[in-house]
Amino acid sequence: MAAAGGNTVDATIAAAITTMVTEPGMVSLSAGGYITVTVPGEQPVTIDGGVEMPGRDRPESWFGGAVREVHSGYGGGVTMTVGHGSVATPGALAALDLLHARSGRLGWPDLLEPAAAALRSGFPLGRSARHYLEFVHETAFGWQPDSHAALHGPSGRLIGPDELVRIPALVDSLEVLASHGAEAFYRGALADLIVADMDANGGLLGARDLAEYEAVLRPALGSEHGRWQLATNPAPAVGGVTLTAMLSLLAGRPTGDWTAADVAHLVAVQEAVLSYRIHHFEAAPDRVQAAQALLQMVDRRDLAAMSSPSTAHVSVAGDDGVACAVTVSAGYGSGLMTPGTGIWQNNCLGEPELNRGGLHSLRPGTRLLSNMAPSVATRGDGAVLAIGSPGADRISTALAQVLAGHMHGRQALDEAIAHPRAHVRVGPDATVVDVEEDLDLGNLELPVRTFPAQAMYFGGVGAAWWEPDTGLHAAADPRRAGAIRISALA
């Protein structure tokens, strides 16, 4: 979204919350999230609203319980854990609240009104949400009565393309938030309903976990790429560090259109960085220190030393020189809608790639790993850019390809976003290159898994930017039917 004549931060918050209530299966108010923002005259910052390991209030006997395993054909096959025990302490609303306290102008009733209006009238399932729910609407989202009722018609089938999703209890929850702000979610009426349901069903998320959660303000991770200064999500999250490493190791490639040699180098960079990430970064007791070690190797261009669901994104840039990028995730979704709230809970504890040590293995209060990499960039002439993507571990590889094509290859952003993509999967037994069918791999020797052109699997990059000579622009990824809007704000 690109906005003129108003407060870019307010536009960001309103758009993010609307996304969080109208993309069922993809994200929810019980999400984790990160916000990277640049304001003229200030250093870029990231607000860390990542999910935490809960369980401060719970006996040891509750750990490992209240979950069920679900296998889905989504993305070529995903096994996830759902249920009350899969819910992590959410942080997205706390992050938006901190952003609002720093730079917002409108009150919560005004910020929530676009989301409330969509809920009051009912909304259709978006293409991306429908695609995902077709795999899991019964297995992951059909086991709990409130969740099942919200997504299924009287016959029990998934709501059709011409039908509307209606969740009256969620309208009521937004009214509570409008009156009391995010405090209601963490220490007020909504928190009471969430905790009561967890108490009754063995969930680890308790009153102390919600009450003690705090969003954290961090200096954004900065790097230089061509004429642009990029700022992204820093450690202890992994997504921004991975993105920065990949862009640096691409070493200015491509210099124009992507060639087969450029793609081969891209694959080598992805394999090196993702291998290092899995074998060193994710297992490190101090992820900040591990990030520094990775970026030091990047400075030496040392590839050899490294080798060994759902999310949603909003990008907003304004003619006030402010750019905000917000990425939020509820995992693959726990299938749990807290009774009386209309709020679907996350299943971030049940995402295998975020919990390499196993279910409930972390100490309560520990931030989980995150692939999210909301990013902003500035240019010497005053131009600003907000960019990001959903897509789990494909976030950093999607953004690296788009930003390299734009900042190095001088592709227009919409062209760079639409360009075919590759993603390297580093597994315990083999490394496989996932690739869209229209990307030229040349004589690549690694095993290849081919996807249709512009497959949803490869993320959904969204960008908004302002340039002093041409004004406001926005671009959305055709892979996830992304929407763009250029508007004047009051």
Give the chain's mean pLDDT: 90
- How far is Cα 217 from Cα 297, in angstroms, rounded to an integer? 27
Using alpha carbons, select from 132, 164, 170, 168 the residue that is nearest to residue 151. 164
Supply the pLDDT for residue 184. Answer: 98
pLDDT of residue 2 exceeding 90:
no
Q: How far is CA 382 from the centre of its chain?
A: 27
The residue with greater pLDDT, 15 or 427, is 15
pLDDT of residue 5 exceeding 50:
no
For range 380-403, the mean pLDDT: 92
Q: Return the DSSP state at 428.
A: S
- How far is Cα 384 from Cα 319, in angstroms, rounded to an integer? 9
pLDDT of residue 305 exceeding 50:
no
Lowest mean pLDDT segment, chosen from 26-30, 126-130, 406-410: 126-130
**Per-residue pLDDT tens digits for 187-241:** 999 999 999 999 999 999 999 999 999 999 999 999 999 899 999 999 989 999 9
Supply the pLDDT for residue 485. Answer: 67
Q: Contact 136/333 with Cβ under 8 angstroms?
A: yes
**Per-residue pLDDT tens digits for 35-45:** 999 999 999 99
- How far is Cα 462 from Cα 391, in angstroms, rounded to an integer? 12
Q: Return the DSSP state at 322.
A: -
For range 88-109, the mean pLDDT: 97
Supply the pLDDT for residue 79. Answer: 82
pLDDT of residue 309 exceeding 70:
no
- Span between the terminal Cα atoms of the chain, in Å: 15
Q: How far is CA 442 from the centre of its chain?
A: 32
* Helix%, strand%, coil% for the chain, nearest 5: 35, 20, 40
β-pairing, 323-329 vs 337-338, is unpaired
Q: 366 pLDDT band (50/70/90 cuts)?
A: very high
Q: DSSP assignment of 352-371, as one string?
A: GGG-TT-TT-SPTTPBPP--
Supply the pLDDT for residue 398. Answer: 95
pLDDT of residue 141 exceeding 50:
yes
Percent of all residues in the chain with a pLDDT value above 90, rounded to a whole number:
69
Supply the pLDDT for residue 486. Answer: 62
For range 137-158, the mean pLDDT: 93
Residue 63, classed as helix, strand or coil, is coil
- How far is Cα 116 from Cα 170, in angstroms, rounded to an integer? 9
For range 314-323, the mean pLDDT: 92
Supply the pLDDT for residue 128. Answer: 82
Percent of all residues in the chain with a pLDDT value above 70, rounded to a whole number:
92
The residue with greater pLDDT, 263 or 290, is 263
* Tokens standing for residue 424: 């390297």
- How far is Cα 405 from Cα 427, in angstroms, rounded to an integer? 27
Considering the segment(s) 219-312+371-475 as one domain, its CATH architecture is 4-Layer Sandwich (3.60)
Q: Contact 44/222 with Cβ under 8 angstroms?
A: yes
The residue with greater pLDDT, 60 or 293, is 60
Phi–psi pair at 189, nearest 5 degrees: -65, -40
**Ranges in the chain annotated CATH 3.60.20:** 219-312+371-475
Q: Contact 419/405 with Cβ under 8 angstroms?
A: yes
Maximum CA extent, the chain: 62
- How far is Cα 420 from Cα 437, in angstroms, rounded to an integer? 8
Q: How far is CA 469 from the centre of its chain?
A: 31
**Per-residue pLDDT tens digits for 402-421:** 999 999 888 999 999 999 99
pLDDT of residue 306 exceeding 80:
no
**Per-residue pLDDT tens digits for 327-364:** 999 988 999 999 999 999 999 998 876 776 778 989 99
Cα-based distances in Å from 416 to 46, 151, 241, 448? 25, 35, 21, 22
Supply the pLDDT for residue 308. Answer: 41
- How far is Cα 458 from Cα 435, in angstroms, rounded to an integer? 9
Q: Quick one: angle between helices 8-22 and 108-121, nearest 10?
A: 30
pLDDT of residue 374 exceeding 80:
yes
Q: 4 pLDDT band (50/70/90 cuts)?
A: very low
